[in-house]
Structure 1
Amino acid sequence: MRTTGTNRRATLRPAGRPEPWHSYAWQVQSLLLGYPDEDFAGHLALARRVAPALPAPVRDPLLAFTGHAERTPADDLAVAYVATFDHRKRCCPYLTYYAHGDTRKRGIALLRLKQAYGAAGLRPVEDELPDHLAVVLEFAGLDPSAGHRLLTEHRAGLELLRLALRAEDSPWAHLLQSVSATLPPLKGDEEEAVARLAAEGPPGEQVGLAPYTPPQFMPDPAGGPR
């Protein structure tokens, strides 16, 4: 991804069509929401270069995360990532889980995401589900109009993930705040959905997801804890 190299003034208009800066923001957020591997230092440096072109509500939490990650030893950051996203179900990064839980409807939602990517001439990697937030953001960076629509459709789940990360005092809460600032504000029905999900959790029917559900969200065949 290339940056503009400019420090132009940008304004937030997330309720309408995406602005040019949206694609840069979503690409950087996608990279920073991935596992912090050996390439992560380069992703942090890219975020620093892109940040000046972003509106303050998107830029400031992005830089808050970047600063934390730069101060944290790489091994510690990787351990924290696994503890947050792999071991805390409430911090699930798979967006369709919030609306459908472990039900057959989630399988259909995942298939529709794959079809949306395919219609844009893209194919997600086989070792990651298409509803992982980092994957959806990467797609949004490449196809801003379609990506904006997908992110907005999952607005309630994104807000619940942001609140869960904030409750855990997780540095990744800053990234979710940055993502949320690229989208329209919650409307009444979405606020109700967030409240319902927070109170009840996602649907729990454990049927029909063998090809789709990550291992950490599948029932233990032995019946014991994971």
Structure 2
Amino acid sequence: MTQIIEMGGESMIEQEIKLGFQFCSYLLSYPNQEFIESLEDLQEELDSLSNSKLKEELQQFLNKATILSTADFISTYVDTFDFGKKTNLYVTYMTNGEQRERGMDLLFLKNYYKLHGFHVTDKELPDYLPVMLEFASQVEQETFRPIFDRYLENIKEIESKLDPKQNLYGHIMKAMMLALKEAGITKAVRRSEEICTNSFYG
């Protein structure tokens, strides 16, 4: 069993999980020139991770990303997430598409974030995976867990379509799944009496 070291009320494992979410959220950004130039600066932070499997997946992404031309990097991102219907980053789209049920999911997420002091701008929908990961990196485990319990199957479906051997973004998805597993999130829970009452949706 991994030794847990308490630091400021938060265990070292919990800190690593949050850092893993931060990495994954950021590395799923559109690869413009500013993003590409920032990758070198991430290496020192990545070296601070002690979870070898999580670290290895993120390192593999950085290794592959840094040898891509800007044009190839952008092309890979667009083909994967903008044109890839089964690998887009909007997690509720996979099961609900544009149906009314998706609207309920989006409202649920927006209200849940707001309830916990996390405000999503109008630029992104609340089911955008990098937004979900950013939220998870800023709150306690018991707060982010209901979100990932609820949408784990959607996220796993995206992850299953991205083979790291063929697409460098598969490494990020594997790193994210490792962080979720470390947080004890391994089985989807669609509904919860605590967070899915009718009044919660507004």
Q: Please give the TM-score of this superposition, normalised by the length of structure 1.
A: 0.70
Alpha-carbon distance in 2 for matches of 1:135, 1:126: 12
The equivalent residue for 2:193 is none
**Residue 61 of structure 1, CA deviation:** 0.7
3-state DSSP of counterpart to 1:183: helix
Give ranges in structure 1 of 5+ residues lacking alignment.
1-8, 12-16, 194-226
Alpha-carbon distance in 1 for matches of 2:3, 2:54: 10
| Aligned residue among 141, 145, 152 for 1:155 | 152
Within a 5 Å distance, the mapping from 1:20-99 to structure 2 comes to: 20-52=15-47, 53-99=49-95
What are the Cα deviations for residues 46-68 of structure 1, in whole angstroms up to 9, with x where unaligned? 53222232411211111111111
The equivalent residue for 1:221 is none
Q: 1:25 to 1:71 in 2, by over 3 A?
A: same
Alpha-carbon distance in 2 for matches of 1:46, 1:159: 29
**Residue 157 of structure 1, CA deviation:** 1.4
Q: 1:174 to 1:123 in 2, by over 3 A?
A: same
Alpha-carbon distance in 1 for matches of 2:3, 2:24: 18
- In structure 1, give the amino acid aligned to 2:154: G
Alpha-carbon distance in 2 for matches of 1:121, 1:104: 26
Does the 8 Å contact 1:152/1:183 carry over to 2? no
**Residue 20 of structure 1, CA deviation:** 1.3
| Aligned residue among 169, 172, 175 for 1:175 | 172
Does the 8 Å contact 2:91/2:128 carry over to 1? yes
What are the Cα deviations for residues 75-117 of structure 1, in whole angstroms up to 9, with x where unaligned? 2201210111111101121111233232111101101111111
Give ranges in structure 2 of 5+ residues lacking alignment.
5-10, 191-202
Q: CA RMSD in A?
A: 2.5
Alpha-carbon distance in 1 for matches of 2:145, 2:68: 32
- In structure 1, give the amino acid aligned to 2:78: V
- In structure 2, give the amino acid aligned to 1:34: S
Query: Following TM superposition, where does structure 1 have runs of at least 4 consecutive aligned residues deviating by more than 6 angstroms?
Result: none
What are the Cα deviations for residues 115-153 of structure 1, in whole angstroms up to 9, with x where unaligned? 111112221121111111111111111114222331232
Does the 8 Å contact 2:164/2:171 carry over to 1? no
Alpha-carbon distance in 1 for matches of 2:99, 2:152: 20
Does the 8 Å contact 1:29/1:175 carry over to 2? yes
- In structure 2, give the amino acid aligned to 1:133: L
Does the 8 Å contact 2:94/2:154 carry over to 1? yes
The equivalent residue for 1:126 is 122
The equivalent residue for 1:141 is 137
Does the 8 Å contact 2:21/2:133 carry over to 1? yes
- In structure 1, give the amino acid aligned to 2:111: Q
- In structure 2, give the amino acid aligned to 1:176: M
The equivalent residue for 2:7 is none
Q: Please give the TM-score of this superposition, normalised by the length of structure 2.
A: 0.77
